[in-house]
Amino acid sequence: MTKDKILVIGASGQIGVELTLALRKLYGNSNVVASDLREENELLKGSGPYVSLDVMNKEMLHVQVIRQNITQIYLLAAILSATGEKNPGLAWHLNMQGLLNVLDIAREEKLKKVYWPSSIAVFGPTSPKINCPQQTIIEPITVYGISKYAGEFWCNYYHQRFGVDVRSIRYPGLISYKSAPGGGTTDYAIEIFHEALENKQYKCFLKEDTYLPMMYMPDAISATIGLMEAPADKLTVHTSYNISAISFSPKEIAAEIKKHIPDFKITYAPDYRQKIADSWPQSIDDSVAKKDWGWKPEYNLSLMTEDMLANLNNKGQ
Ligand code: NAD
Ligand code: AKB
């Protein structure tokens, strides 16, 4: 049996850093090659191989896959919802062409598995707001959401037509303290912790009652690895799986933070991101992921808040 060798593309990003470290624990440091357009993240330095790579350069990507004997790719390079609205053309180009480059190479080199994340951003104003189902009306209004929805169908197409084992999760907003978020609408739920600790106040760019689906990073990492380790014959969804953990509003997370920092104050100044948030569901039904591969989250709002504050305090933030 060939030994697994993994390439993580976009490894210096918010998810990439933690996922690379988790994969290195599982597969061995030298078997997980981190790559990114930007420089290697400090937390990755010394923990395993790193190559500088642009996913848009298909030839160079192909060379690396062959040279490093790669058997699995985790593709994390993308432009997220808020940044995408500032440059729709670039977001579409990176999010689509990057995925197509990886899927083509996976097909040609007969890679064992590919991981590519989608997002709750595929859903739009016409999707159900509460417990949004796996299969429903999907009419996204952001370029990011459009690119994710199209990407889901490319994954399904490569699976059906060419037998590429590509797996995907529609992540909710992810909250973490190790590496900074990359330009999403849910980023407020990370900024709020930093500002609460540094300044005891936060000006939120969403309205107080904007409920969104969220998840703490350890749950997102365990979901990703759980899906990638699941037996192929258990998987019934080849577009992307809904998963869910917590739903809260800025007002609710502020109240939770206040339990630890009593003089913390939040104010609200909604901007262009409000419209994006309003178009997304408030909560997600993940019963299919639970049934197919046993997905189960661990963190609720209070556990996550406690852990975020403790870890940011330890980091001296
Ligand atoms: P991020 O912006 O933090 O990281 C993306 C990384 O990709 C960055 O380090 C960036 O330098 C790199 N990159 C950009 N262009 C590249 C290129 N051409 N070649 C190689 N690398 C390039 O994003 P993230 O939050 O870690 O998200 C990773 C994936 O998960 C994305 O597909 C995103 O849509 C998806 N996702 C994230 C969230 C979230 O809340 N973070 C939620 C849903 C889905
Ligand atoms: C964003 O806000 O763009 C991301 C996402 C939910 O995909 N966090």
Q: What is the pLDDT of residues 231-259, one digit of tens each?
A: 999 999 999 999 999 999 999 999 999 99
- 109 alpha carbon – ligand 2 mean position (Å): 31
pLDDT for the residue 314: 87
Q: What is the mean pLDDT of the chain?
A: 97
In CATH, which of 3.20.20.370, 3.40.50.720, 3.30.360.10, 1.10.1610.10 is domain 6-173+217-242? 3.40.50.720
Residue 135: count of CB within 10 angstroms of its CB: 9
Packing angle between helix 217-229 and helix 14-27, nearest 10 degrees? 50
Residue bearing the CA closest to ligand 2, atom 5: 173
Task: Give me the CATH topology for the region 174-214+245-284+294-315.
Answer: UDP-galactose 4-epimerase; domain 1 (3.90.25)
In sequence order, the 6+-apart residues with CB closer than 8 A to the CB of 75 are 9, 10, 55, 98, 99, 102, 114, 115, 116
**Residue of 7, 8, 9, 15 best suited for mutating to test ligand 1, as the one with most atoms within 8 Å of CB:** 15
Domain ranges within the chain, ordered by starting residue = 6-173+217-242, 174-214+245-284+294-315
Alpha-carbon gap, residue 258 to 273, rounded angstroms: 25
Q: Is 16 in the pocket of ligand 1 (CB under 6 A)?
A: yes
- 108 alpha carbon – ligand 2 mean position (Å): 31
Q: Is 186 in the pocket of ligand 1 (CB under 6 A)?
A: yes
Q: Which residues are catalytic?
A: 144
Q: Are 274 and 210 in contact (CB under 8 A)?
A: yes
- 214 alpha carbon – ligand 2 mean position (Å): 9
Radius of gyration of the chain (CA): 19
- Rounded to two decimals, the pTM is 0.98
pLDDT for the residue 3: 85
Residue 133 has pLDDT above 90, yes or no: yes
Among the listed residues 174, 189, 204, 186, the one whose alpha carbon sits nearest the alpha carbon of residue 271: 204
Residue 1 has pLDDT above 60, yes or no: no
pLDDT for 282-298, tens place per residue? 999 999 999 999 999 99
Residue 146: count of CB within 10 angstroms of its CB: 21
Alpha-carbon gap, residue 121 to 135, rounded angstroms: 14
| Residue 219: its H or E element | helix 217-229
Which ligand is closest to the CA of 101, given by its number?
1
Cα dist from 119 to 13, 170, 212, 273, whole Å? 16, 4, 12, 16
Residue 10: count of CB within 10 angstroms of its CB: 26
Neighbouring-strand partners of residue 52: 36
Burial environment of residue 29 by CB neighbours within 10 A (0 to 12, 13 to 18, 19 or more): middle
Residue 122: count of CB within 10 angstroms of its CB: 26
pLDDT for the residue 243: 98
- 67 alpha carbon – ligand 2 mean position (Å): 33
The edge-to-edge listing of strands for the beta sheet with 72-75 is: 50-52, 32-36, 6-9, 72-75, 113-115, 166-167
Neighbouring-strand partners of residue 60: none
Burial environment of residue 58 by CB neighbours within 10 A (0 to 12, 13 to 18, 19 or more): middle
User: Mean pLDDT throughout 214-242?
Assistant: 98
**Given the CA of residue 144, which atom of ligand 2 is nearest to it?**
3
Residue 277 has pLDDT above 60, yes or no: yes
Q: How confident is the model at residue 2 (pLDDT cuts 50, 70, 90)?
A: low
Burial environment of residue 61 by CB neighbours within 10 A (0 to 12, 13 to 18, 19 or more): buried
**Residue of 79, 80, 166, 276 best suited for mutating to test ligand 1, as the one with most atoms within 8 Å of CB:** 80
Residue bearing the CA closest to ligand 2, atom 6: 173
Triad 88, 57, 28: Cα angle to 5°: 105
User: Mean pLDDT throughout 114-120?
Assistant: 98
**Given the CA of residue 12, which atom of ligand 1 is nearest to it?**
9
pLDDT for 163-189, tens place per residue? 999 999 999 999 999 998 989 999 999
Alpha-carbon gap, residue 299 to 219, rounded angstroms: 7
- 263 alpha carbon – ligand 1 mean position (Å): 34
Per DSSP, the three-state class of 315 is coil
**Residue of 76, 119, 188 best suited for mutating to test ligand 2, as the one with most atoms within 8 Å of CB:** 119
pLDDT for the residue 317: 59
Pocket lining for ligand 2, CB < 6 angstroms: 80-81, 119-121, 144, 173, 184-186
Q: Is 102 in the pocket of ligand 1 (CB under 6 A)?
A: no
**Given the CA of residue 116, which atom of ligand 1 is nearest to it?**
32
Residue 119: count of CB within 10 angstroms of its CB: 29
- Do 6-173+217-242 and 174-214+245-284+294-315 show the same overall fold? no
- 80 alpha carbon – ligand 2 mean position (Å): 6
Residue bearing the CA closest to ligand 1, atom 15: 77
Alpha-carbon gap, residue 265 to 192, rounded angstroms: 10
Pick from 116-120, 251-255, 312-316: least confident: 312-316
Q: Is 10 in the pocket of ligand 1 (CB under 6 A)?
A: yes
User: Mean pLDDT throughout 111-132?
Assistant: 98
Q: Which residues of 168-182 are buried (b: 16+ CB within 10 A; e: fewer)?
A: bbbbbbbbbbebebb
Percent share of the chain, pLDDT over 70: 99
